[in-house]
Structure 1
Amino acid sequence: MVGRALPSLPQYRKDGVTRRLCASVHLDDDLAAEADRELTGDRLDAIGLTLGINFVALARHARVAVRRREALDRQLAALGALLVIALFALLWGLTGGHATVVQAGFYSLVGVLVISWWLVHHAESRARSAAQKVLHGQEKTEELAPPVEPEAEAWLNDLKRANVLPYADQAALDKPFVGSGHIQLGKVVVWQPIDVSKPAAAPGGGTQSMVPFDAIDLHTYVAREMEKISGLDGLRARNRLYVLGSHAYLLPDLVPDRTRRPRAQIPKPLVQAGLQRPGAAMRTHLCLERVSEGGRMVVSMYARAILNRPSLSWEVAVYAIPPLHGRFHVVDRLPVAPFARWRSLVAYATLRLWPELSGAPKRINERGRRRRRSARFLRKLRRDITKQHVIYDYGAPDSLRERYGDWDQAGHNELADAADFLNRLQQGVLTATERFLKDHKIDTSSFDKAQQIITQTYNINNVNGPSNIGHGGTINNPGGPQGSGPPGPQGGGQPPARP
């Protein structure tokens, strides 16, 4: 019965992945430092697309977590110095028989340990409270942490609507669509050419007058109609210019200052130009991105209309990103009952007291060395670019969302949804192309023949078919090339080291 009234079942939060990442940076110091450097650090290379993550919120929470850790280390380092002084005083008093000095040294020693224990306990309590508030709170995620630098937030906001992306040179060999996850079926496909030179037959006999069109018109039509045709609510369709990282400087609108990071948005005519006449390692693709419920999986299709009259074909590549790695579910296992929480925090502070206290100077020195090393690298690089005209690779190597994915976390429902998304995207492009040709009075008999060859079912992890991504991302594609899945527990592996 159409329009029947049914109760509402619980739904995933639309910002679930963002909240889980923001919660995790409060509990994982290394993750917080990595996100802070990635999103707000001084850099020349681009970063991968947001893909369903609110980068502004993540940057804010990462900064809070980093500052909390730095403040704790400074306090512990100072207390560590007092601990050494108290220990020497105690030993001197014992060897010299000075009872007053022994007593003062002993109480100072105990006092330093107690204060250090409390600081570790308090910092962990704050971190857990912040993580649980982010994950379960009703406020917007970005409102739960203070802003970072305005210019950094402006750049991250622009990235949400990026219409250009430089990709790292090393990705040019196999995957210019950096950060989009694992390619399905292990290959990029160019669909069967379609003859678009014949006019459609007129109802009363004869032929109709064809309506002129170009690749820009076709891309615009497909982008506008895809959500409705595919039935994928929330589908994001956008034309985006992909540029080889070492060629990015050739576009002044992309890199107006060669000593600064590239922009995330460029004038629309430049994006269109990448369709009409691709440049040197610069091509525009129609990017169709669908984020599943709660952001658990991301599927993407990248299509480029190749219009070389009298034929039209599509270059198509499809990708998928699995759910977040299990490390991001630690916040779910934190005790919340008052006594259990108290006992857990006491145990944590007791076990971590000495490693935290003794390791504080080393952590401070390591952060300082890393910052100085990065600053020296950037100074030298900027000097070389300015004075020696060095060509720099501005391309992004991957994305945070891809880096933190893990195929082992993908259940049957997620895999089935992803396969459905990919099939709908493929069929949607075909349907939109057919309607576009009919609207432009072009005979579609060639399209009908080509469609029988083009149609390819995408099945993930043995869901509904033999061509699939197997356990861990390994492709099983009879008759097709083999590929390997994401290496390591984090899915995308680690990006190239950059100081």
Structure 2
Amino acid sequence: MKRAGEQEGQVTVAGRALPVLPQYRKDGVTRRLCASVHLDDHLAFEVDRDLTGDRLNAIGLTLGVNFVALARHARVAVQRREALDRQLAALGALLVISLFAVLWGLIGGHRTVVQAGYYGVIGVLVATWWLVHHAESRARAAAQKVFHGQEKADALAPPVEPEAEAWLHDLKRANVLPYTDAAALDKPFVGSGHMQLGKVVVWQPIDVSKPAEAPGGGTLPIRPFDAIDLHTYVAREMERISGLDGLRARNRLYVLGSHAYLLQDLVPDRTARPRAQIPKQLVQAGLQQPGAAMRTHLCLERVGEGGRIVVSMYVRAILNRPSLSWEVAVYAIPPLGPRFHQVDRLPAAPFDRWKSMVAYTTLRLWPELKGAPGRISERGRQRRRSAKSLRKLRRDISRQHVIHDYGAPDSLRERYGDWEQAGHNELSDAADFLNRLQQGVLTATERFLKDHNIDTSSFDKAQQIITQTYNINNVNGPSNIGAGGTINQPAGPQGSGPSGQPAGGMPPARP
């Protein structure tokens, strides 16, 4: 933060004034995704369907992405593509008529009809060339404007449906997330990336029944506390203790998808999608006394520079007196894959841009014209199939009382990550985040116990075991995060990623 009297572009830390180097934009990933939907039609339809389509299941967390802005730009791209296909389909019909006129004129010897047919064919091709050129020019201009512009990304596209935007806004501060039943065995924290410890870990138990010694002799009275108090303290103090500015700490209830209907506040209407926020008392209840496949975790999420990498740590205090344990799971999401760097390669110089546009339009002219009717028909079939499937599912839920899995299978941010794009800086940052988060939880726990007059000798012994096992304090040693996004542990093999994927792999995005 600049002080009064400082020169523009300088920052003073510990009395030393230094220039400010160029920084990544905090919304860099959002802008890159928004630009990419303008350049990739398949991506635009996928994002539009996932974020604003009619659905019964939840979607994954935002994790540093502005879903409202992304949904708006995806809708613009979808509408542009659909309008272009309708125009091309009409031109295609006119082309067929023109060719038929040419054929009929040649057979019948009608020279005027032949000439009119030829002019019709030429006119269709010219109009097609111009429409494709114009649509691609608009797409590239929109992509470059949102990627390089100074205005907020969500201000560069018109809003979508109010109810869809309200749901996406709530998702930013979601305190509940149903996860799909398929993830229950190995990864309830859906959409958070690859598990970095290879498994969920429960730290060494700590004895919290022994009071601390008083300064003048004797013991101090133990101040009563529960797991909610401990979570609240850690959430409040973690950013300061860990030194991770911008750390997001939030208690969140994770619910098995097929059990979500049991919470009326989560699924008030069994034929509609679940809510993203519920009363905080339910979240606290999931910590104090977990329900049927419902547990509350303290979610610590740190987004790296420009959103390129995301590290999440999920902890849950297990307080079964006289002992306290922490359940710990760590995940990481790599930078976006190569398909999202197309906007970087768009030519900017006038002549280069003109040449690129002419080459693109000429090569795409016939495929665009020929394929328009098929694309329109396929999208119509997909929508009808989806609507029919949802109608049947809602009917089965209402009439047959079918239990539906409302869980989210993944997140958009996780789906588009690629560990091959993670360089040295991202891996070292992720390792630093991991070390600070784990040590921060330990430090916060120790301070909490001391504040409540509990003897910490048991904690000191447990911390030594935890530190030796998970390499928390080895900041001068090798990075905890190794090649492929795995965690190097002193003992035991490295873990694998979810669903049989290697920890360094990334399932391909859906077409």
Instruction: Tell me the TM-score normalised to structure 1 length.
Output: 0.96
* Superposition pairs of residues 99-498 of structure 1, within 5 angstroms: 99-455=111-467, 456-457=470-471, 464-465=477-478, 468-471=481-484, 473=485, 477=489, 479-485=491-497, 487=501, 492-493=506-507
Q: Say yes or no: does 1:30 pair with 2:42.
A: yes
Distance in 2, Cα, partners of 1:39 & 1:463: 43
Deviation at 1:430? Answer: 0.2
CA-atom RMSD in angstroms: 2.0
**Cα pair distance change 1:138/1:231, threshold 3 Å:** same
**Cα pair distance change 1:458/1:79, threshold 3 Å:** farther
Deviation at 1:468? Answer: 4.0
Deviation track 1:228-256 (CA, whole Å, cap 9, x = no partner) reads 00000000000000000000000000000
Q: Say yes or no: does 1:3 pair with 2:15.
A: yes
Deviation at 1:2? Answer: 1.8
**Cα pair distance change 1:282/1:492, threshold 3 Å:** farther
Deviation at 1:93? Answer: 1.1
Given that residues 314 and 329 in structure 2 are in contact (C-alpha distance below 8 angstroms), is that contact kept between their aligned partners in structure 1? yes
- Structure 2 counterpart SS, 1:303: strand
**Cα pair distance change 1:291/1:132, threshold 3 Å:** same
Partner of 2:8: none
Deviation track 1:426-453 (CA, whole Å, cap 9, x = no partner) reads 0000000000000000000000000001
Deviation track 1:102-138 (CA, whole Å, cap 9, x = no partner) reads 1100001000000001000000000000000000000
Structure 2, unaligned runs of 5 or more: 1-12
Deviation track 1:295-349 (CA, whole Å, cap 9, x = no partner) reads 0000000000000000000000001000000110000000011111011001001
**Cα pair distance change 1:76/1:490, threshold 3 Å:** farther
- Structure 2 counterpart SS, 1:358: helix
Amino acid at match of 1:425: L
Amino acid at match of 1:406: D
Deviation at 1:94? Answer: 1.5
Deviation at 1:177? Answer: 0.3
**Cα pair distance change 1:175/1:327, threshold 3 Å:** same
Distance in 2, Cα, partners of 1:491 & 1:327: 16
Deviation at 1:97? Answer: 1.4
Deviation at 1:481? Answer: 4.3
**Cα pair distance change 1:466/1:238, threshold 3 Å:** closer
Given that residues 486 and 504 in structure 2 are in contact (C-alpha distance below 8 angstroms), is that contact kept between their aligned partners in structure 1? no
- Structure 2 counterpart SS, 1:242: strand
Instruction: Tell me the TM-score normalised to structure 2 length.
Output: 0.94
**Cα pair distance change 1:467/1:89, threshold 3 Å:** same
Given that residues 164 and 240 in structure 1 are in contact (C-alpha distance below 8 angstroms), is that contact kept between their aligned partners in structure 2? yes
Given that residues 227 and 234 in structure 1 are in contact (C-alpha distance below 8 angstroms), is that contact kept between their aligned partners in structure 2? yes
**Cα pair distance change 1:115/1:459, threshold 3 Å:** farther
Distance in 1, Cα, partners of 2:465 & 2:443: 15
Partner of 2:79: 67
Given that residues 431 and 481 in structure 2 are in contact (C-alpha distance below 8 angstroms), is that contact kept between their aligned partners in structure 1? no
Distance in 1, Cα, partners of 2:218 & 2:331: 44
Deviation at 1:457? Answer: 2.7
Q: Percent identity?
A: 82
- Structure 2 counterpart SS, 1:186: coil
Deviation at 1:96? Answer: 1.7
Given that residues 406 and 489 in structure 1 are in contact (C-alpha distance below 8 angstroms), is that contact kept between their aligned partners in structure 2? no
Distance in 2, Cα, partners of 1:201 & 1:342: 79
Given that residues 405 and 490 in structure 1 are in contact (C-alpha distance below 8 angstroms), is that contact kept between their aligned partners in structure 2? no
- Structure 2 counterpart SS, 1:290: strand
Deviation at 1:92? Answer: 1.3
Amino acid at match of 2:68: V
Deviation at 1:3? Answer: 2.2
Deviation at 1:489? Answer: 13
Amino acid at match of 1:176: P
Distance in 1, Cα, partners of 2:139 & 2:38: 5
Structure 1, unaligned runs of 5 or more: none
Distance in 2, Cα, partners of 1:375 & 1:458: 51
Displacement over 6 Å in runs of 4+: none
Deviation track 1:117-168 (CA, whole Å, cap 9, x = no partner) reads 1000000000000000000000000000000000000000000000000000
